[in-house]
Chains A and B, each alone.
Chain A
Amino acid sequence: MKEWEVVIGIETHAQLSTQSKIFSGSSTAFGAAPNLQANAVDIALPGVLPVLNRVAVDCAIRFGLAVDAEIAARSVFARKNYFYPDLPKGYQISQYELPVVLGGELKIHVGDIEKTVHLTRAHLEEDAGKSLHEQSGHHFQGRSGIDLNRAGTPLLEIVTEPDMRSAAEAVAYARALHALLRWIGICDGNMQEGSFRCDANVSVRRVGQAQLGTRREIKNLNSFRFMQQAIEYEVQWQIATLEDGGCIEQATVLFDPGSGETRAMRTKEDAHDYRYFPDPDLLPLLIDRQWVEQIRTQMPELPTARRERLVAEYGLSPYDAKVLTASLELATYYEATVATAGRSNAKACANWVTVELAARLNKEDHEVGGSPVSARQLGELVARIADGTISTNIARKVFDALWNGDADSADEIIAKQGWHQITDHDALETLIDEVLAGNPGMVTEFRAGKEKAFNALVGQAMKATRGQANPQRVSDLLRKKLA
């Protein structure tokens, strides 16, 4: 493997979160019955004209600002011509020579290494419809069924430079882009519904060779796991082919998750000839500085800036900061928790959010936005551990109770259950005297030098306090009494 270098570029189609389509007033909601969201424009009846959706452009500007790209003051829509039954006009409206977003970059992390992936461009376009070959008992008399609900859905196609050097880097890029699009609120990122789809252009070359190898494009990767598997397989295949004296033919390939292999769909000879030209139905899109500045004021703090601030302001580790900025919702939840628990408990809040809360959300398949325990409730709980009212073990029980909606606040649950830690020194001493009196065997063993017996005594004492004593204080008291 060492003498080969892998070169990968990625194209992503991100569905933009608009209510209506990019050039028509049809709904973009997912899952409607066939063709109920396809109006005269979408099905390309003669005489209709496309009119551009302002929010689709807002989304493109947001993206451009988020990746520090140039937002074109003037961009042009073009027709990409090809025939396919789910493309009723015979062309897709896209952008070609003058896209709306130029350049930009995205930082990715693979292990501890940070790398910058440069973007070539991002352009607005419409999605095509869907061809169905059979569905829920329908066989369409040996024909294909066409559903045009998806036709005209706004997409942002984001294209990178060939900057990635491994499947791991490609996946890290796709994940970072996915998180960013959701963070800035322009794409719901739902990969099952096709809201985020990637194509990977993969080639290999001898280390030191300046010229790029011939690439093959793996189409429609709709999960990060498939992307990893597909690229790894493709790289192995290309290297094996070249080492056997073969050559790579430029081709479009599909990944078959069943076999784990990629196979050619079409080669260069029958590659499409799209004959792009400016769409006469649409005028140039002009974006003035004022529009860009207005969008800039609505931008959330970006993930990288948020991560750096969490480290600087709350003293979190870069790792915790990274986990907590996986989504805007999680970062917001975390900071709201700290706002309640107090800045001095920021680290404890991070632990609760990333460990207890995350595990529970994951187990019960909730998004952080739908967490049964609110940030305020969790913040109050963390504060009660910090001020010594309850132990961490009891706190887990309180958390369960909050999760189940038993009460509105940690304080209420602690009071109702009588879960306060025993802070009364005399009461604790009495309890420990009873434990020592009740376990003479352990005491003898300890005095004979068996450290294990001491731990058993601590266990007995904690049991006697129903977990409501501070373990450190119990241990200290026991040692004093046994000395």
Chain B
Amino acid sequence: MSLTLEQVHRVAHLARIEISDAEARSTLGHLNEIFTLIEEMQAVDTQGVEPMAHAQDVAQRLRPDRISETNPVEQRAAFQAIAPETEAGLYLVPKVIE
């Protein structure tokens, strides 16, 4: 199996990465090499093997339902100090209307 140039552009668009045609062509080459590797792995018989959801075979730890934040006003000020634009406590972004 190998990718098409069109698929590379589509993946780039989904990831919101701008690429030129030249970059897309070189990326296509790299990705197809990875596909070759995957094909090799797919040759292994995995029948009856349960897929893992994580590389480590341990269970999720849980936290108690407690509020941990004690000074939200100060915290927000610190976060918004490094935001490009804010107003009335909100982060400002280019207008989005769906």
The closest CB in chain B to the CB of A83 belongs to: B16
B5 at the interface (CB under 8 A from A): no
Flag if B95 contacts A19 (CB, 8 Å).
Answer: no
Q: Which of A35, A265, A283 contacts B54 (CB 8 A)?
A: A283
Flag if A280 contacts B54 (CB, 8 Å).
Answer: yes
B45 at the interface (CB under 8 A from A): no
B32 at the interface (CB under 8 A from A): no
CB distance from A198 to the nearest CB of B (A): 19
Q: Which of B56, B60, B92 contacts A285 (CB 8 A)?
A: B60
Task: Give the residues in chain B near A57, CB-CB below 8 Å.
Answer: 62
Give per-residue flags for A16-59: 1 if the beta carbon is below 8 A from chain B beta carbons, else 0. Answer: 00111000111100001111111110010100000111111100
Complex CA–CA separation, A162 to B85 (angstroms)? 45
Knowing A140-B87, A283-B59 touch, does A25 contact B67 (C-beta < 8 A)?
Answer: yes
Interface of A is mostly: loop
The closest CB in chain B to the CB of A282 belongs to: B60
B37 at the interface (CB under 8 A from A): no
Report A119-152 residues with CB < 8 Å from chain B CB: 131-133, 135, 138, 140-148
Task: Give the residues in chain A near B87, CB-CB below 8 Å.
Answer: 138, 140-141, 145
Task: Give the residues in chain B near A76, CB-CB below 8 Å.
Answer: 53
Flag if B65 contacts A143 (CB, 8 Å).
Answer: no
CB distance from A86 to the nearest CB of B (A): 8
Flag if B65 contacts A35 (CB, 8 Å).
Answer: no
Complex CA–CA separation, A98 to B91 (angstroms)? 35
B80 at the interface (CB under 8 A from A): yes
A185 at the interface (CB under 8 A from B): no
Flag if A144 contacts B68 (CB, 8 Å).
Answer: no
Task: Give the residues in chain A near B14, CB-CB below 8 Å.
Answer: 81, 273, 275
Complex CA–CA separation, A34 to B67 (angstroms)? 17
Flag if A146 contacts B92 (CB, 8 Å).
Answer: yes
CB distance from B62 to the nearest CB of A (A): 4
A407 at the interface (CB under 8 A from B): no
B48 at the interface (CB under 8 A from A): no
CB distance from A15 to the nearest CB of B (A): 14
Number of residues on chain B facing chain A (CB within 8 A): 37
Flag if B66 contacts A35 (CB, 8 Å).
Answer: no
Task: Give the residues in chain A near B76, CB-CB below 8 Å.
Answer: 35-36, 38
Knowing A54-B62, A143-B94 touch, does A25 contact B54 (C-beta < 8 A)?
Answer: no
Complex CA–CA separation, A84 to B65 (angstroms)? 28
Complex CA–CA separation, A300 to B79 (angstroms)? 43
Flag if A20 contacts B91 (CB, 8 Å).
Answer: no
Listed residue (B67, B68, B91) with the most chain A CB atoms within 10 angstroms of its CB: B91
Task: Give the residues in chain A near B63, CB-CB below 8 Å.
Answer: 25, 51-54
The closest CB in chain B to the CB of A25 belongs to: B68
CB distance from B80 to the nearest CB of A (A): 7
Flag if B66 contacts A85 (CB, 8 Å).
Answer: no
Complex CA–CA separation, A83 to B96 (angstroms)? 11
Flag if B90 contacts A145 (CB, 8 Å).
Answer: yes
Task: Contacts A35-B79, A53-B63, A131-B96 known; list 16 others, CB within 8 Å.
Answer: A19-B65, A25-B68, A34-B88, A35-B76, A56-B65, A84-B96, A85-B94, A133-B95, A138-B88, A141-B92, A143-B95, A145-B92, A146-B93, A283-B53, A283-B54, A284-B53
Q: B residues bordering A, Cβ < 8 Å?
A: 14, 16, 53-56, 58-69, 72-73, 75-76, 79-80, 85, 87-98
